[in-house]
Amino acid sequence: MDGIVPPQFTADEAFFDFVLSAAATTWPDLKAKTDRNEPLSPFSVPDVKITISVDNTYEPLTTLLTRNVVGMVEGSDPRLKDTYVLFGAHLDHVGYATTDQDAKGRVNTPIAEDKIWNGADDDGTGTTAEMAIAKAFATGPKPKRSVVFVWHAGEEADLYGSRYNADFPIVPIEKIQCQLNIDMIGRNRDNDPAQANNVFVIGADRISTDLHNVIVDTNATLAVPLKLDYEYNDPNDPNSFYTRSDHYSYASKGIPIAFFFTGTHPDYHANSDSVEKILFDKQAHVAQLVYQTGFAVANSERTLERDNKGARTGRGWAGRIK
Ligand SMILES: [Zn+2]
């Protein structure tokens, strides 16, 4: 409430029909383009003035403070080091349940007597992978561009930490090449052993075809390439994982993102998400891919291209996009 952030608002069909009625792109045109997954370029709407009145009077009932944790390793190129590759994971989890059922309807299950929700996979695996990646950059070879590590607060509370860093970025937002988000990379989906070599990659192609292709090319250089699975990148997938973790705050600002994820399981958001269930070799394998992808982007002279062509990969997709 204290920061000046452009308001975002939703409205019904009649509103947009009216507002865009005299524009070069009308509301039906815009919807048709979206349906065809075509790129949407910005356009201005002449002779339209919209006044938004925001009533920002409020009364705090409780105040809870938290912080993002940020680190940076400076790039080696004097010209490119003021451009950045961001890595992210979230350091919060869903806390603990003090009664049989908390305000969000969560119950202590499946372990009735255990009030602590450990969050080993969600997102202990992402935060520790990010520490390992940060250590590799701090102690190993330095890419041309700088690399920034953000351990976001409040992800589970609706992406608070990443929204804060997207609205008030720690480095100039226009200098960010991409953001690579790691949230849950230490299990097999539904404990299925057939998923052992599988990682879901979500969102990479939507803003930058280039980023999708860098991930594919980087994966091919690993001693054992992972199976890159795009099932959850399908905009029609009912899980909507694309909007559900920190990368989305950056994607909303037009920054190319990729979300690395190994899927949910019966311990997801339950007090049974504990450390002895983590597949550390798999976690390290995915972390290696994220590290090398970030290194490739950060060490390239070329700016990652933003072509905003939307989601094109989905279930069964393999390889580059031409
Ligand atoms: Zn998470």
More reliable by pLDDT, 103 or 251:
251
DSSP state of 124: I
Q: Examine the pLDDT at 237 and tell me if it is beyond 90.
A: yes
Phi/psi class of residue 271: alpha, beta or left (left: φ > 0; alpha: ψ in -120 to 50)?
alpha
* Beta strands 176-182; 227-229: pairing state: unpaired
**Would you state the pLDDT for residue 4?**
63
More reliable by pLDDT, 34 or 187:
187
Q: pLDDT class for 16, splitting at 50, 70, 90?
A: very high
Q: Separation of 66 CA from ligand 1 center, angstroms? A: 17
Q: pLDDT class for 50, splitting at 50, 70, 90?
A: confident
Mean pLDDT, residues 224-243 taken together: 96
Q: Separation of 158 CA from ligand 1 center, angstroms? A: 11
Phi/psi class of residue 47: alpha, beta or left (left: φ > 0; alpha: ψ in -120 to 50)?
left
**Would you state the pLDDT for residue 167?**
94
Q: Separation of 123 CA from ligand 1 center, angstroms? A: 5
**3 state SS of 82:** coil
| pLDDT tens, position by position, 90-133 | 999 988 765 556 556 666 667 777 778 899 999 999 999 999 99
Q: pLDDT class for 75, splitting at 50, 70, 90?
A: very high
Q: Separation of 155 CA from ligand 1 center, angstroms? A: 7
**Would you state the pLDDT for residue 104?**
60
Q: Separation of 228 CA from ligand 1 center, angstroms? A: 20
Mean pLDDT, residues 172-191 taken together: 98
Do the Cβ atoms of 142 and 136 come closer than 8 Å? no
| pLDDT tens, position by position, 187-196 | 999 999 999 9
Query: How far is Cα 257 from Cα 177, in angstroms, rounded to an integer?
Result: 9
Cα-Cα-Cα-Cα dihedral sign, residues 134, 136, 140, 141:
negative
Do the Cβ atoms of 233 and 314 come closer than 8 Å? yes
Taking the mean position of all CA atoms in its chain, how far away is CA 229? 16
Instruction: Map 209-258 to HEC letters.
Output: HHHHHHHHHHHHCCCCCCEEECHHHCCCCCCCHHHCCCHHHHHCCCCCEE
Q: pLDDT class for 279, splitting at 50, 70, 90?
A: very high
**Would you state the pLDDT for residue 102?**
58
Q: Separation of 185 CA from ligand 1 center, angstroms? A: 10
Give the global pTM. Answer: 0.84
Question: What DSSP string describes 46-64?
Answer: TT-------------S---
